[in-house]
Amino acid sequence: MSDKQRLLMVDDDVELCELIGDYLSHEGFTLEFAHDAEQACERLKRADRYLLMILDVMMPGKSGLELLQQIRPQIQLPVIMLTGRGEDIDRILGLEMGADDYLSKPCNPRELLARIRAVLRRAEPQQRTTLFPDAPVSMSGVSLDPGVREVRVADEQVELTGTEFNVLAYLLANAGSVLEKEQLTELVLHRKLAAYDRAIDVHVSRVRQKLGRLLPGRELIKTVRGVGYQFIKDDL
């Protein structure tokens, strides 16, 4: 496994660490552990090994907030805080001290994975920039004009809502590439993807249906299971 996929989890709950570590290992990450602030400091002597740190607020000895305050001036590693339910003060303090996101415990591994991917994406904007088209785009029989916000299939206009238009615009502008659900949610709905959030799926489904009425039998938008969506690039 490449060091580029290595994460650090700082939490005194050994069972939770093992559970999260096992889940993330199937998603392409290696998770290393520290069970108190002292162990974390030892690990962080080589902070460049890690892409991100998952940090529990409540730990024996030095708390996660104290550890974050100690390391933040020197180490710019992205951090996701784990907080107890209702601990709004800890959440606010963590964000003010430089945490990139937070999640309440007990946490759903799937939601944690979504948060990790979203934070890593924001941490490397120069590599993950997805531009809204600034000129007309035509692909696979679909023409989209961002200037007049119009979509046509052949000579027939496709009636889309503003959100549906934006979904199609991003997919068309990046035809052939997979856009993650987290990424589309942030670009189109201007919020983070939450657990069990299917809003972006609904918008994509409606775009599919409307295009499908005019181009029956053609798969234009492919679902990449567990990742996101891809507009099928024209081979012509």
> What confidence score (pLDDT) does residue 130 get?
59
Torsion of CA 96, 100, 104, 105, to 10 degrees: -110
141 vs 192: CA distance, rounded Å: 32
Structural domains of the chain in order of their starting residue, each with its CATH number:
3-126 (3.40.50.2300), 137-231 (1.10.10.10)
Residue pair 143/120 in contact (Cβ under 8 Å)? The answer is: no
**pTM for this one?**
0.53
pLDDT digits (tens, 9 = 90+) for 67-84: 988 887 678 889 999 987
pLDDT tens figures, 95-142: 777 788 888 888 889 999 999 988 887 776 444 445 788 899 999 999
Query: What's the pLDDT at 94?
Result: 73
54 three-class SS = strand
User: How open is the CA angle 29-11-93, to the nearest 5 degrees?
Assistant: 105
User: 109-118 as b/e, with b when 16 or more CB fall inside 10 Å?
Assistant: bebbbbbbbb
Strand, helix or coil for residue 71: helix
Q: Which ranges of the chain have pLDDT less than 50? A: 1-4, 125-129, 236
